[in-house]
Each structure stands twice: as C-alpha cells, then as structure tokens.
Amino acid sequence: MAISVSFEIYSFKNGDWMLDSVHDDKNMAIHQGRMLIASPHHMAIRVIEESYDDAADRSFSKIIYKDQKGKDEQKPKKQAPKDKKSGGAPVKKKKKKKDDFSKNLIIMVISVGGIGLGLLALVAVLIAKFG
C-alpha cells in the first residue's frame, strides 16, 4: 500500500505548459512556484500533486497551487472600495442606482410630454390651415 507523492511545477511558455521541476516536498514546490511567477520568464504557474498507488497501479493528480501574471492587478478593480467609515458601501451603491433610475424616468416623461405637445401643435396648425 505504498503511495508515492511528488509535486510537479509547470510553467506556461510559448502557449504550452512545460514541466519546470519536480519536488518531493509540498512547501518547497509551492515556494518555488511563487518565486517563478515573480520572474519575467514565467507567465503562469501550476503546482500539481501526483500520487501514485504502487499496489493498485493507479495515479491521481490535482492542482494544489496556481498563479498567473496580471491576476493581482485585476483584483482591486473587481473589489468594492474599502471604506471603514461608511461601513455600507454596497447600500450606497444601490441607492445611487435608484437615483439614476429616477433621473432617467423624469427625462423620459419630459421627452414623451414634449413630443406629445409637439404633435398637438402640429395637429392644431393643420386644422387651422385646412379647416
């Protein structure tokens, strides 16, 4: 029932995942992965845990760490601004949406009213001209 475990680091280069190195220690593999992604030659990194059951002749793989360039820069844009004082940033955002809706509704009513008045004036002119 001997199960051997190894940790393979893959790096994304030239449109393909290339095996970079193999380790028997999980922490070291993840640490290496973190260092690689910080270097300019690696666009994305995956650390895959490979378990092999000698008795059953079966292997099992799973990704235990992954990272890619540019991921950290995109994150802050997605996150809501951290404002401890307001404590209710999402509610405020919702209120702003409601305000926008009211403004749009008023503009729409004025526009429809204006068009209606214009049509009435046109009809009045036509009646006056042609009887």
Partner 1 sequence: MQDQPKNDGMERRMVHRMLMQWRSAQEGSGIPGFRDVLSRDLGDIHPCIYMLEIDEDIPDPFFERIGGAFADEGSTSLVGHAVSEAPDNTLLGQAVKYYSRVQVKQIPITLGGEFVHANGDTILYRSIIMPARDSEGVDSYLIGAANYKVKDA
Residues found near partner 1 in the complex (CB under 8 A):
11, 13, 19-25, 27-28, 31-32, 35, 39, 41-42
SS3 37: helix
Task: Confirm if 66 and 44 have CB atoms less than 8 A apart.
Answer: yes
Q: State the minimum distance, in angstroms, from the CB of residue 41 to partner 1.
A: 4
| Residue among 40 and 87 whose Cβ is closer to partner 1 | 40
Q: Which residue has the tokens 């049509």?
A: 119
| Residue among 21 and 69 whose Cβ is closer to partner 1 | 21
Task: Confirm if 68 and 37 have CB atoms less than 8 A apart.
Answer: yes
Q: State the minimum distance, in angstroms, from the CB of residue 86 to partner 1.
A: 34
The residues near 79 (Cβ < 8 Å, ≥ 6 apart) are: none
| Residue among 14 and 74 whose Cβ is closer to partner 1 | 14
Q: State the minimum distance, in angstroms, from the CB of residue 88 to partner 1.
A: 36
SS3 8: strand
| Residue among 27 and 79 whose Cβ is closer to partner 1 | 27
Q: State the minimum distance, in angstroms, from the CB of residue 59 to partner 1.
A: 16
Q: Which two tokens stand for residue 44?
A: 């994305």
